[in-house]
């Protein structure tokens, strides 16, 4: 008999259910006896003992279903060792729930913060397996995270749709793409949908260079320009500020986000009408794309095999299209960013895409 717990933590994405299904199908087809306990609302469920014994029916028909059947919440890693408002030791509470259910392993699906807490539980002696989930694709040690490709499809579709209205009205359009502190999603969606300018957190922009790119398109007879701007994009001027100074600047800013600031600056410097579109959380919603369904099935199957092997304390990732087990202590707390001199950036520049630098 194998007893495993499962939880989904942090922001949701399209393929969480598909990944859980992959784990359960891999185990149920290869072990004698299986109990799966689902913890509700992420680490909250583990802390406060909110869980349910799941059945095979819970995992039936969820391959194509977005979101998470277990619910999720954000529990900041930096607060995990601090007592809650009632003085409860959260780490000890999680351990007690784990041992109370006599679990063989806890399967944790989530992004960077989730991964750091998973590693904390490993250090506390629990058997854990982490599956890398995030549309940001910023988890170190894996080439790709599930949810990333599905989000690319949605963001690229938004930019595709902007093309016709931008060309009809001869405007500059900015599409603000999610991605937190990194630019992977903006980069891939921007290239896929033919954005003319792509602004990333890793490559601070010069607004005058952005304007130059727009004016060059005008001189070349192009009546419109489309910018894909990462939500974490930053100007060269702001990049020189320390964290405290930048935070204060953002707090006092009259703009809802960086995209509106860029739009205002473009309008003032060129006189061209500039509009902003923010697809927001739609990028995390809907059904997972076929690529993510395959990816999650593969990651889930390998997670199941690792549990059977008793090989715990790993993230299940992808390297060179091969599923691999990566020790959590080697990757937890590290961020995978877009390297400004990477091959894909050079190729994009070669095709004429401006990065505003």
Residue 152 buriedness (CB in 10 A; 0-12 / 13-18 / 19+): buried
In the numeric block, the tokens 């539980």 are attached to: 121
pLDDT in tens, 111-154: 999 999 999 999 999 999 999 999 999 999 999 999 999 999 99
**84 tagged catalytic:** no
Contact 131, 300 (CB under 8 A): yes
Task: Kindly indicate the confidence band of residue 246, based on its pLDDT and cuts at 50, 70 and 90.
Answer: confident
Please check whether residue 129 is in contact with residue 306, taking contact to mean a CB–CB distance below 8 angstroms.
yes
Q: Are 15 and 49 in contact (CB under 8 A)?
A: no
Tell me whether residue 242 is exposed, middle or buried, using C-beta atoms within 10 angstroms of its C-beta: 0 to 12, 13 to 18, 19 or more: exposed
Question: Across-strand partners of 128?
Answer: 106
Task: Convert the pLDDT of each residue in 156-174 to its tens digit.
Answer: 999 999 999 988 888 899 9
Break the chain into its structural domains and give their ranges.
2-147+288-331, 151-284
- Does 151-284 match 2-147+288-331 at the fold level? yes
Percent of the chain whose predicted confidence (pLDDT) is above 70: 100
CATH, domain 2-147+288-331, list 3.40.30.10, 2.40.128.50, 3.40.50.300, 3.40.50.450: 3.40.50.450
Which of 162, 179, 157, 154 minimizes the C-alpha distance to 229?
Answer: 179
HSE value, Cβ hemisphere, 13 Å, CA-based, for 193 = 31
Across 23-50, average pLDDT? 96
Residue 223 is predicted with a pLDDT of: 86
Q: What is the CATH number of domain 151-284?
A: 3.40.50.460
Question: Which entry of 12, 58, 104, 136 is annotated as an active-site residue?
Answer: 136
- The two tokens of residue 267 are 């309008």
pLDDT score at 322: 97
- Rounded to two decimals, the pTM is 0.95
Q: What is the pLDDT of residues 166-200, one digit of tens each?
A: 888 888 999 999 998 999 999 999 999 999 999 99
Q: Which two tokens stand for residue 79?
A: 């607060």
């Amino acid at each position: 008999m194998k007893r495993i717990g499962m939880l989904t933590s942090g922001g949701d994405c399209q393929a969480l259910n598909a990944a859980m299904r992959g784990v359960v199908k891999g185990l149920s087809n290869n072990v004698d006896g299986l109990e799966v306990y689902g913890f509700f609302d992420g680490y909250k469920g583990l802390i406060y003992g909110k869980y349910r014994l799941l059945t095979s029916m819970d995992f039936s028909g969820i391959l194509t279903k977005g979101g998470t059947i277990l619910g999720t919440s954000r529990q900041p890693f930096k607060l995990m060792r601090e007592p809650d408002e009632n003085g409860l030791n959260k780490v000890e509470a999680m351990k007690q729930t784990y041992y109370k259910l006599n679990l063989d392993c806890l399967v944790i699906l989530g992004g960077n913060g989730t991964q750091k807490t998973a590693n904390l539980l490993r250090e506390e002696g629990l058997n854990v397996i982490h599956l890398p989930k995030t549309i940001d694709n910023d988890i170190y040690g894996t080439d790709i995270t599930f949810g990333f490709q599905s989000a690319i499809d949605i963001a690229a579709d938004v930019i595709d749709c902007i093309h016709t209205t931008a060309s009809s009205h001869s405007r500059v359009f900015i599409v603000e793409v999610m991605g937190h502190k990194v630019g992977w999603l903006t980069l891939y969606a921007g290239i896929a949908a033919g954005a003319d300018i792509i602004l990333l957190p890793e490559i601070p922009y010069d607004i005058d260079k952005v304007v130059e790119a727009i004016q060059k398109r005008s001189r070349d007879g192009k009546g419109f320009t489309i910018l894909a701007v990462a939500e974490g994009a930053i100007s060269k001027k702001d990049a020189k500020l320390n964290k405290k100074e930048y935070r204060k600047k953002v707090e006092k800013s009259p703009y809802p986000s960086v995209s509106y600031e860029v739009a205002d600056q473009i309008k003032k410097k060129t006189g061209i009408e500039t509009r902003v579109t923010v697809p927001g959380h739609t990028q995390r919603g809907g059904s997972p794309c076929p690529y993510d369904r395959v990816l999650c099935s593969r990651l889930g199957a390998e997670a199941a095999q690792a549990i059977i092997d008793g090989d715990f304390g790993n993230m299940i990732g992808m390297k060179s299209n091969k599923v691999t087990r990566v020790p959590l202590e080697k990757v937890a707390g590290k961020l995978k960013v877009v390297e400004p001199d990477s091959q894909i950036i050079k190729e994009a520049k070669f095709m004429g895409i401006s990065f505003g630098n």
